[in-house]
Copies of this chain bind each other. A is one copy, B any other.
Amino acid sequence: MGIAERKERDKTERRQSILDAAQHLFIEQGFEKVSMRNIADAIEYSPATIYLYFKDKNELLFALQNQAFGRLAQEFESVFEIEHPAERLSAIGHKYLTFAFAHPELFQLMFVMNGPMEAVKARGEAQPWASGRAAFDRVVRAMQAGIDAGVFRHADAEVAALLVWAQVHGLATIYLSNRAMIFSEERRQTIIEEAMNLFNQVLHHGL
C-alpha cells in the first residue's frame, strides 16, 4: 500500500500548502485580502481546486485558526514555570496582549472573526472549539492554583478565569478595533500598558 500512502501524504501536503499560502496572505496583507481567488493565485491553482481540500472558506479559516492556536500555546509555554499564582496569571495576560499586538490578524482570526466559528457550529461536534477550550483551560488551571493557595477568594475558578480573560481581551479588542481613537496618539501607546499595570495590581490584591 506504498502508493496509497504516498497519495495520502501528497494530499495533506497540498492541503498544508494552501493553509501556508493563506496564512502568509493573512499576515502579509491583512484578512480583507484573504480571498479564495488570492489564495488560489498564490499557489497557482484554480479557486475551484481549494474546494477539493476544504468544504468552504469558513472551514479553511477554521483550520488556520487551529494552527494559530498552536502559536499561542507556544507563547504560553514559559509562563507555567512561574510559581506565584497572581504573577502567573498576569504573565498569561501579558502574553495574550503581546500576541494580539504582534499578530493582530491571527488574533482576529482566533478571537474576533465570525467565519471560523461558523465552521465550528457547522461541524456540530460534542466538544466544540476544542482549541479555544484548551487555551482557556490553562487560565482556569492557573486560577484554580491561586484559589487553592488561598490567594483568590472566589470559589469558581472558571468564572474568575473568564473575568480575567475578558479583561485582557477587552483591552486588546478596544485597541485593535480602533476604539482607542478617543485617546491621543501618544496616549494610546501607553494607556493600555497603564491599564494592564492597574489590572496586575488588582490581581495581586487578591481579586
A96-134 interface with B by 8 A CB criterion: 111-114, 117, 120-121, 128-129, 132-133
Nearest to A156 among chain B residues (CB) is: B194
Residues from chain B with a CB closer than 8 A to the CB of A114 are 177-178
Q: Map CB proximity to B onto A160-183 as digits: 1 under 8 Å, 0 otherwise.
A: 101101111111011001110111
Binds B, one of A11-19, A66-74, A195-203: A195-203
Is the beta-carbon distance between A159 and B207 smaller than 8 angstroms? Answer: no
Is the beta-carbon distance between A159 and B194 smaller than 8 angstroms? Answer: yes
Partner of A202, one of B112, B162, B179, B207: B207
Is residue A20 contacting chain B, with contact meaning CB distance below 8 A? no
Interface size range on A against B: 35 or more
In Å, the complex CA distance between A133 and B182 comes to 5
Is the beta-carbon distance between A198 and B129 smaller than 8 angstroms? Answer: no
Please classify the interface of chain A as helix (H, G, I), strand (E, B), loop, or mixed, using the class held by over half of its residues: helix
Residues from chain B with a CB closer than 8 A to the CB of A163 are 167, 171, 195, 198-199
Nearest to A154 among chain B residues (CB) is: B198
Is the beta-carbon distance between A167 and B167 smaller than 8 angstroms? Answer: yes
Given known A111-B177, A198-B160, A207-B202, contact A132–B182 (CB-CB < 8 A): yes
Residues from chain B with a CB closer than 8 A to the CB of A87 are none
Known contacts A120-B181, A156-B194; 20 further A-B pairs (Cβ under 8 A): A112-B112, A112-B173, A114-B177, A117-B177, A117-B178, A117-B179, A120-B178, A121-B178, A128-B182, A158-B183, A159-B198, A162-B171, A162-B192, A163-B171, A163-B198, A165-B174, A166-B170, A166-B171, A169-B174, A202-B207
Q: Which 5 A-B residue pairings sit nearest by Cβ, starting from the closest?
A: A170-B170, A166-B170, A117-B178, A169-B170, A133-B182
Residues of A within 8 A of B (CB): 111-114, 117, 120-121, 128-129, 132-133, 136, 154, 156, 158-160, 162-163, 165-171, 173-174, 177-179, 181-183, 191-192, 194-195, 198-199, 201-202, 205, 207
